[in-house]
Amino acid sequence: MPFTPTPARPAPISQMGVIGWLRKNLFSNIPNTLLSLVALYVVWQVLSSVISWAFINADWVGSSRADCTSDGACWVFVSVRLNQFIYGFYPAEARWRPNLAFALLVGFLIWLAVPRIPYKKLGGILALTAFPVAAYFLLYGGAFGLPVVPTSRWGGLLLTIVLAVIGIVLAMPIGIALALGRRSNMPAVRLVCTIFIEFWRGVPLITILFMASVMLPLFFAEGVSIDRLIRALIGITLFQSAYMAEVVRGGLQALGKGQYEAADALGLSYWQKMNLIILPQALKIMIPGIVNTTISLWKDTSLVVIIGLLEVLGQVRQALADPNWLGFPAEGYIFAALTFWVFCFSMSRFSQYLERRLDTGHKN
Amino acid sequence: MTTNEKTEYNGPAIEIKGMNKWYGDFHVLKDINLEVARGERIVICGPSGSGKSTLIRCINRLEEHQEGDIIVDGMPLINDLKKINAIRKEVGMVFQHFNLFPHLTVLENCSLAPIWVKKMPKKEAEAIGMKFLERVKIPEQAHKYPGQLSGGQQQRVAIARSLCMSPRIMLFDEPTSALDPEMISEVLDVMVELAQEGMTMLCVTHEMGFAKKVADRVIFMDGGEIVEQNEPNEFFNNPQEERTRLFLSQILGH
């Protein structure tokens, strides 16, 4: 008789589906059932009061605090101040400029991230050359008939995005160079890179920002002053590149020795080996680490308040101090938290998507 | 272009004279003297830790030796990246764990070095890649990733990848040790074919059947030394040294 494999049978119904899951995890015996019911009750109590405060009893429309009559949340505070939270003190008639810059940024991200859109190389080159120039003139002005908007008027979400995006984009290549340097065979290069990384990693960002604003000017000649935003960016970039370097080094070390040896045995030069074999694989391994440091930088940008730059959180706190709007800290902070969360969570999901897409099913 | 200007050196393929190597304080290779003639096929065997892998890895400078001379294809192996890369162009290597590049397709694995090291146009490099993938009998896998292939197929791709650089010497570092038993023969078949075409080969392997079939010389190493070498018939039937006999009884005994 020829061999016929036994057909696979489905698992028992009680093991599967919602009912099966509930029975297995929440109601498996009497103590577990009691605990589950108590927990459900607590969750319901908390959720119902939060929902009634934030949605049911909340005031949504109006233009002053007099419109907040119910005892729920006063979202009027946020909606009245929304422009300030997003743009800081950027002039109202020029707000289309950051809007356009942001739209371009999103456009480039979509171009580079969605596999179906062709000309990725062109997109990458434009995103790193034309886009920064365009964004500079859009945001700062001073050419093409666009009036100058000094950086002291930038703020809110606009400032958060500027600081985080520029910080990450500049820190990436510096970080890669530092990581390669730290693993170099040349002792001098290795020493310099190690010292650089360990110095910047060992100092809190808030100290670096403080130094950038207080100490740095002491080294310049009288009358020479560097824009406060630039100083903050230099500090953030150096700080971030040290962290990035360690993420990159982790990725380089995670790759098997065999990949280096195979590239060597084929006669590839050091830079060919790095660019063609090692970095493409290492960067894939590094995605979670890179996104992790990016998210943490995104939130750390709120520290620039120490040198008088007001990003989202800074603007919220400033608005809370307005005598006409005293007494709405919860609304303000919830808005700030939600803003951060939306961006950070999107980045986290995007990184998971990237990991799945780049997975070729085999680790070295 | 480089293929035409390649000087046809016809002396020994490899000469190793008085070579010593240490890992820190540990003396891995002791006074190695070895001359490999052009077209000669050598099988190196020995217990693990005997230095046989280290020996062939010194030939393309994956490991650095501290004393003695290694001359590959007429070029002395010295501490100069240009010279080392010139030698690596002439010496192909196949690893125990294949070491294919997992982020590149099979064909890209093969065409990469011709494109970047030999500066060959992409079309031409891919044609060469396909030619060698046909030789190892897996042209239909050209556009898959290494992770989608079986171990035996991956090792055949690795052999094709090396051959694409048209090396004059091939080094095999235990090419079948990481394979499931049913895949060993497909890799050995490719190696036998290569041997019959006159490629100079140095093979670290425990496949004694392969040694008997194609080797011109079998070298037995133990404790970092070449203990005994002979043509296969004599080596297997009439080993001179006690250590060789013990080793042969251990690997042939079961």
Predicted-complex ipTM score? 0.90
Which position has the token pair 């992790």? A292
Query: Are residues A35 and A178 located together in one domain of the fold?
Result: no
Flag residues of chain B having pLDDT under 50: 1-6
Residue of A nearest to B94 (CA): A262
A364 contacts B145? CB cut-off 8 A:
no
Edge-to-edge strand order for the sheet containing B26-36?
Answer: B26-36, B14-23, B67-72, B75-76
Interface contact B101-A272, CB threshold 8 A? no
Q: What CA–CA distance (Å, rounded) separates A300 from A292?
A: 12
Residue A47 located in a structural domain:
yes
Do A46 and A163 share a structural domain? Answer: no
A20-78 pLDDT, tens digit each: 778 777 888 888 889 989 999 999 999 988 888 888 777 777 777 777 777 777 787 78
A5 Cα to chain B: minimum distance (Å): 22
> Are β-strands B67-72 and B75-76 bridged in parallel, bridged antiparallel, or unpaired?
antiparallel
Q: For A2-23, write each residue's pLDDT tens digit.
A: 788 888 887 776 667 777 778 7
The Cα B221–Cα B232 span in angstroms is: 15
Output b/e per residue, A170-196; b: 16+ Cβ within 10 A.
bbbebbbebbbbbeeeeeeeeeebeeb
CB nearest to B146's CB, from A258, A261, A362:
A362
Query: A71 in helix, strand or coil?
Result: coil
How would residue A364 be classed by pLDDT, with cut points 50, 70 and 90?
very low
CA distance A273 to chain B (A): 10
The verdict on A251 and A205 lying in the same domain is yes
Whether A182 and A33 map to the same domain: the answer is no
Are the beta carbons of B62 and A360 separated by less than 8 Å?
no
Residue A7 domain flag: no
B143 has a chain A CB within 8 A of its CB: no
CA end-to-end span of chain A, whole Å?
44
A135 inside domain: no
Identify the pLDDT of residue A360: 63
Same-domain status, A24 and A85:
no
Return d(Cα B201, Cα B92) in angstroms, integer: 10
Cβ of B113 and A266 within 8 Å?
yes
Residue A302 token pair:
């709120």
Cβ neighbours of A263 in B, within 8 Å: 101
Query: Domains in chain A: how many in total?
Result: 2
Most B-contacting residue of A184, A261, A266 (CB-CB within 10 A), to test interface: A266
The predicted structure's pLDDT at residue A283: 86
Q: Which residues in chain A touch residue B165, judged by CB atoms under 8 angstroms apart?
A: 266-267
Residues on chain A bordering chain B, Cβ-to-Cβ distance under 8 angstroms: 256, 258-259, 261-269, 272, 276-277, 280-281, 284, 360-364
For helices A96-113 and A120-128, what crossing angle results, to 10°? Answer: 150
B159-209 per-position pLDDT tens digit = 999 999 999 999 999 999 999 988 999 999 999 999 998 899 999 998 899
Q: Give domain status of residue A128, yes or no.
A: no
Instruction: Kindly tell me if the per-residue pLDDT of A142 is higher than 90.
Output: no
Cβ–Cβ gap B100/A269 under 8 Å:
no
Q: How many CB atoms lie within 10 A of CB A211?
A: 14
CB contacts < 8 A, A to B, total 73
Residue A132 maps to a domain = no
Closest CB from B60, B93, B102 relative to A360: B102
Give the separation between CA A258 and CA A359, rounded to whole angstroms: 19
pLDDT tens-digit map of A320-340 = 888 877 777 888 888 889 889
> Does A100 map to a domain?
no
**How far apart are alpha carbons B13 and B90 in whole angstroms?**
10
**H or E segment to which residue B201 belongs:** strand B200-204
- Which structural domain, as residue segments, surrounds residue A177? 75-90+149-358
Q: Which residue of A has its CA nearest to B83?
A: A267
Cα distance between the two ends of chain B: 51
Domain with A79 in it: what CATH number? 1.10.3720.10
User: Is there a contact between A265 and B91 if contact means CB atoms under 8 Å apart?
Assistant: yes
Secondary structure (3-state) at B173: strand
For residue A131, give every residue at least 6 positions away whose Cβ sits within 8 Å of its Cβ, in sequence order, or none: A104, A105, A108
| Amino acid code (one letter) for B55 | L
Contacts of B6 in chain A (CB under 8 A): none
B178 at interface of A, judged by CB pairs closer than 8 A: no
With pLDDT > 90 as the criterion, what percentage of chain A qualifies? 22
Residues A32 and A175 in one domain: no
Same domain? For A34 and A153 the reply is: no
Residue in chain B closest to A259 (alpha carbons) equals B99
Beta bridge partners of A122: none
Whether residue A180 sits in one domain with residue A48: no
Phi/psi-derived region of residue A267, left when phi > 0, alpha when psi is between -120 and 50, beta in every other case: left
Q: Provide the pLDDT for residue B228.
A: 93
Query: Which residue among A264, A362, A364 places its CB closest to the CB of B88?
Result: A264
What does the pLDDT read at residue A193? 93
Sort out which chain B residues have CB atoms less than 8 A from A267's CB and list them: 85, 88-89, 113, 117, 165
What residues of chain B lie within 8 A of the CB of A276, using their CB? 112, 116
**Do the chains contact at B117 and A266, CB–CB below 8 Å?**
yes
Identity of residue A319: A
CB-based contact B147 A360, cutoff 8 Å: yes
- Does residue A206 belong to any structural domain of this protein? yes
Distance from CA of B52 to the nearest CA of A (A): 17
A165 and A298 co-located in one domain: yes
Domains and CATH numbers, chain B: 14-99+168-252 (3.40.50.300)
Nearest CB neighbour to B116, from listed A272, A361, A362: A272
Look at residue A214 and tell me if it is in a domain.
Answer: yes
A209-256 per-position pLDDT tens digit: 888 877 777 777 666 677 888 888 888 999 999 999 999 999 998 888
Per the CB < 8 A criterion, the answer to whether B10 and B33 are in contact is: no
pLDDT at B4: 42
Q: Cα dist. B100→A263, B54, B108, B111, B197 in Å? A: 9, 20, 10, 12, 25
Q: How confident is the model at residue A144 (pLDDT cuts 50, 70, 90)?
A: confident
In a shared domain, residues A285 and A314: yes
Query: Is pLDDT above 60 for A362?
Result: no
CB contact under 8 A, A261 and B62: yes
Sort out which chain B residues have CB atoms less than 8 A from A257's CB and list them: none
CB spacing of A262 vs B148 below 8 angstroms: no
A199 with A342, same domain: the answer is yes
Residues, chain A: 364
User: Using CB atoms within 10 A of its CB, is residue A20 exposed (0-12), middle (13-18) or buried (19+)?
Assistant: middle
Chain A residue nearest residue B82, CA to CA: A269
On whether the CB atoms of residues B180 and B155 are closer than 8 A, the answer is no
Contacts of A262 in chain B (CB under 8 A): 93, 95, 99-101
